[in-house]
Amino acid sequence: MLIFGGSASEVLAIDIAKILGAAVSKLEIKRFPDGEKYLRVQQDVSGQCVAIIQSTFHHPDEYLFEYLLIADSMRDLGAEKIIAVIPYLAYARQDERFNPGEAVTIETVAKLVESVGTNEFYTVNAHLHRINDISRIFSIQAHNLSAVPLLAEYISRNIELDNPVVIGPDEESEQWAAAAARVLGVDFDVLEKKRINAERVEIKTRRLNVKNRDVAVIDDIISTGGTIVETVKVLRREGARKIVVGCIHPVLAGNALARLYESGVDIVLGTDSIPSPISRVSLAPTIASALRKVKE
Ligand code: R5P
């Protein structure tokens, strides 16, 4: 299998290739003066199985279009099998028509990815809260990998926690909080969240007592940081001691990181689905082990 990294995930692609005992294959990607992209595949892909690693954060339209260019060119150049690895899958929040006339964006993304000849699709902890099985939106084989065990193992190995408990900031985070708690061998609970608007949320506690305990908060995404800021306020009010926050996708929009540290969180970390100052956990082992199982 040949591994290629789009411009959003060059380093992650190198790390994945290393684990698989390969070198990352070369793409030349540059911009014309008018802003359009130029792409050249610098490796013979004819008859080969190729994996294209390309997260879609911060500039989702650009990175998604770049994926389409890469995959379509490879199909045209005779690649036998094309595997999309899109660790952070943009446009997944709109997985339903909440109001009349809205675009169900994730369905459009799935159709586009398939239209260029992608044979198999991988993502990591997709934000599909109303769809519990990602293969419902794809007609090709699609896999939603979980990086929660990696995140929890990192916390367990590197951060000292006293009488810890895992907390998910809302009901939707229960699956991740439960998985992290299993790895850490501790209790978990989730809080109740009401979203007021895109940046403001209200959070209430449910049953678990966090007084004088260290807390690991686990969520899939930190975007504006609003959810975590409110969660930290509630946990402090309830007497929590050290607060460690782990997320899969550190979107960190605007001044989110500053807001988080100002809120009094002790440690915040995420994965390299989105390269960021807190991306301490690499997804490379999870993705490499999934790619090892692909039938070429
Ligand atoms: C919500 O459903 C997600 O699991 C995250 O809690 C949310 O996306 C975080 O967004 P923000 O950081 O903007 O509160």
Per-residue pLDDT reduced to its tens digit, 111-152? 999 999 999 999 999 998 888 899 999 999 999 999 999 999
Give the active site residues: 193
Does pLDDT of 231 surpass 70?
Answer: yes
Ligand 1 contact via 119 beta carbon (within 6 Å): no
Ligand 1 contact via 225 beta carbon (within 6 Å): yes
Ligand 1 contact via 221 beta carbon (within 6 Å): yes
Does pLDDT of 212 surpass 80?
Answer: yes
Share of the chain above pLDDT 70, in %: 99
Ligand 1 contact via 123 beta carbon (within 6 Å): no
- CA 81 from centroid of its chain's CA atoms: 24
The model's pTM: 0.93
Does pLDDT of 60 surpass 70?
Answer: yes
CA dist., res. 172 & res. 191, Å (int): 10
Reduced to 3 states (helix: H, G, I; strand: E, B; else coil), residue 288 is helix
C-beta of residue 66 within 8 angstroms of C-beta of residue 54: yes
253 burial via Cβ count (<10 Å: 0-12, 13-18, 19+): middle
Of the CA atoms within 13 Å of residue 81, those in its CB half-sphere come to 14
Reduced to 3 states (helix: H, G, I; strand: E, B; else coil), residue 74 is helix
CA dist., res. 272 & res. 275, Å (int): 5
C-beta of residue 128 within 8 angstroms of C-beta of residue 106: yes
Q: How far is the CA of 148 from the centre of ligand 1 (A)?
A: 16
Torsion angle of alpha carbons 168, 280, 277, 224, nearest 10°? Answer: -20
pLDDT value, residue 166? 96
To the nearest whole number, what is the mean pLDDT of the chain? 94
CA dist., res. 74 & res. 70, Å (int): 6
148-176 confidence digits (pLDDT tens):
999 999 999 999 999 999 999 988 899 99
CA dist., res. 116 & res. 86, Å (int): 15
Q: Choose one of 146, 227, 255 to mutate for the ligand 1 pocket test, by most ligand atoms within 8 angstroms of C-beta.
A: 227
Nearest atom in ligand 1 to the alpha carbon of residue 224 is: 13
Determine the residue type at 101.
G
Among left, alpha and beta (phi > 0; psi -120 to 50; other), residue 254 is: left
pLDDT value, residue 183? 97
